[in-house]
Amino acid sequence: MDVILVPGLWLDASSWDAVVPALTEAGHRVHPLTLPTDVDAGIRDWVDAVVAHVDAAAGPVVLVGHSGGGNVVWGAADARPDRISRVVFVDTMPPPPGAMISEFPVENGVVPFPGWDFFDEPDIADLDDDTRRRVAASVIDVPGSVPTDPIPLSDERRHDIPVTVLSGRLDDNGIREALTQWGAFADEFERIGDVEVVTLDSGHWPQFSQPEAFAARLVQAVR
């Protein structure tokens, strides 16, 4: 199976280094991506970059998206629904049409990493100081429009693709309860025919905070 790994905001292909060996040992062809960093790039450019890798794959593809990368992989699944065997969302949810990732301060056309204190404490609680320093030293700026660009979705066949949510803290019931406050996100989630939720008991960055356990869960999800 070809597995395309899409990082969240400020991260590049190296953010998947801890999980690539486990996926490779399981017999998969693994493609960790660094998305376009040109200041003029938008969310469509990020989706197109993933679609190009889908088109280059020999067979069915599993897409894995962490955090803001979830919008990107869902956009790619919408563009190539007949090529995608599963979409795995890592502590994020399938977005509805037109949704953005989030808003962050833009400086000189890019969104710099805002620092760990920007995030809610439960999201970062399991990242020790050394890990925070190491990750912060490797972050990259995000093109300014990417986080707020609406995700283009138009093919209803995306709802036929099996989905796995690797959730940091919430279980299936918790996600469904939270989605009642998220408007169109709840509608999108309910329209997906095959959804499983796996609770990681982690913060928002399990690939850094619990790499071995996360890698094992990801290998189980990729099928």
In whole angstroms, give the CA distance from residue 38 to residue 58. Answer: 29
Number of domains in the chain: 1
> Do 184 and 99 contact (CB within 8 A), yes or no?
yes
For residue 205, the 8-state DSSP code is -
> Do 94 and 175 contact (CB within 8 A), yes or no?
no
Say whether pTM exceeds 0.85.
yes
In whole angstroms, give the CA distance from residue 107 to residue 85. Answer: 38
Reduce the DSSP state of residue 31 to 3 states and report it: strand
* pLDDT tens digit at each of 223 positions of the chain: 999 999 999 999 999 999 999 999 999 999 999 999 999 999 999 999 999 999 999 989 999 999 999 999 999 999 999 999 999 999 999 999 999 999 999 999 999 999 999 999 999 999 999 999 999 999 999 999 999 999 999 999 999 999 999 999 999 999 999 999 999 999 999 999 999 999 999 999 999 999 999 999 999 999 8
Candidates 3, 18, 6, 61; CA nearest to 216 is 18
Rg (CA), the chain: 16
In whole angstroms, give the CA distance from residue 219 to residue 223. Answer: 8
Give the domain extent around 187.
Answer: 2-221
Query: Looking at residue 223, what is its pLDDT?
Result: 83
- CB-based contacts of 47-52 (< 8 A; 24+ apart in sequence): 47/72, 47/75, 47/76, 47/79, 47/151, 47/152, 50/4, 50/6, 50/75, 50/76, 51/76, 51/79, 51/80
CATH number for the domain that contains residue 26: 3.40.50.1820
